[in-house]
Chain A
Amino acid sequence: MSQDIATIRVTRYRPEKDGKPFFQDYKVPYRKDMVVLDALNYIKANLDGTLTYRWSCRMGVCGSCGANVDGVPKLTCASFLHEFKGRTIKVEPLTHFSVIKDLVVNMDDFMHKLVEIKPWIIKEKESPPEEGEYRQSAEELERYAQFSSCINCMLCYSACPVYGLNEKFLGPAAIALAYRYIEDSRDEGKDVRFPIVHELEGVWECTLVGECSVVCPKGVDPMLAIQKTKILGATNALKSLVMPRGGK
């Protein structure tokens, strides 16, 4: 199989040594089936063992290898090198996150938000296992199925200008996941999640830019989840205005 040479321009930043991030170029031979993550692995194995980045599954499932490839948030395991033929491929850490080292960003804020929305099924009263599973029809599953495909890669946060301006914003993935449970017919945790997603820095901060849905590698549409959550909130607020005792 024929090989070409790709120039990979990677952001380097070692806080203990460097005052600020800088770019470093590497020449990587590649075949048609190689992706940016393969190039990073080649650099690490053959050219510079100090290069630091996250990765795991190499098949778009774990969500660890997100980076800005040529200025766009992408999974490096899903970005083929031949698509950038003839150009220097710039690989930078995801924007809107602080950098720990090279391409590794600090995920603490996102992980905190993820837990905050309680991404699990909440039941008012758990039924014992011998009573069987909580059943659900195909139509009920369809209502939230796409939102359960999120792999927490944080590309949507990197693409979201609102999160970039206000890190208190709950953000696309966390809201999409909250909506996934709000729409789940087995879940009874609406009263717990509503105050979280309907905080001013929850759905109301979103200005409908829509880049979150554009960059999602799993076809999740967080913008739709945010809009639907807004509609639920507005309907609820109107109900509570008209029926102060009955509405929630």
Chain B
Amino acid sequence: MMPKVARLHAILWGVFSMGGFIAAFLLPVLIYLVGIAYPLGLWPMAGGDPTSAILSHHHIGTLFLFVTVAGSLYHGIFRFQSTLTELGLAPAKRALEAIGYLIIILGILAVAYYLLLLNPSVLSLP
């Protein structure tokens, strides 16, 4: 049996690991669609940008955007913690981690808020 604190850490690590997977596979797709294809005129759908297209089609699109951004943010804070350890910033680590987590939580809330604004119907899911 694993110690309780370690079990919690293991679950958080699992989320971090999935966040890394998301960051590696989904984020490049999003960057290509929004940052490269659309501005260069390679986006095939007339009358709408990729984000609106993703959101307007399915609730799964909203989920895709939320998971991509939130997963990447969470992966970022976990890696940030590791960087603090590697830099030997142990005395300031807790304070910096707290600031980092605050930024990430605000980021995730902001993403959720904007996605709700863009696609309010997601709340009426059965």
Contacts and interface: CB of A to CB of B under 8 A. Distances in A.
Interface in B1-45: 1-3, 5-11, 13-14, 17
Interface string A138-167: 000000000000000000000001100110
A191 B1 CA distance: 6
Given A204-B10, A230-B10, A237 B2 contact: yes
A200 interface: yes
B91 to A, nearest CB: 12
Contacts of A209: 86
A248 interface: yes
A21 B29 CA distance: 55
B90 interface: yes
Interface residues on B, range: 10 to 19
B52 interface: no
Contacts of B6: 195, 198-200, 202, 204, 233, 237
Among B1, B5, B17, the most chain A Cβ lie within 10 Å of the Cβ of: B1
Interface residues of A, number: 27
B47 interface: no
B93 to A, nearest CB: 11
B86 A230 contact: no
B86 A237 contact: no
Interface of chain A, main secondary structure: helix
A162 B81 CA distance: 13
A231 B17 CA distance: 9
Nearest to B16: A234
Interface string A186-217: 00000100110011101011011100000000
A171 to B, nearest CB: 15
A241 interface: yes
A122 to B, nearest CB: 16
Contacts of B88: 165
B10 A236 contact: yes
Interface in A81-97: none
A207 B86 contact: yes
Contacts of A241: 7, 11
A207 B82 contact: yes
Nearest to B6: A198
A33 B123 CA distance: 74
B2 A236 contact: yes
A238 interface: yes
Interface of A: 161-162, 165-166, 191, 194-195, 198-200, 202, 204-205, 207-209, 230-231, 233-238, 240-241, 248
22 contacts: A161-B86, A162-B85, A162-B86, A165-B85, A165-B88, A195-B1, A195-B2, A195-B6, A200-B5, A204-B9, A204-B13, A207-B86, A208-B82, A234-B13, A236-B10, A237-B2, A237-B6, A237-B8, A237-B11, A238-B14, A241-B7, A248-B1
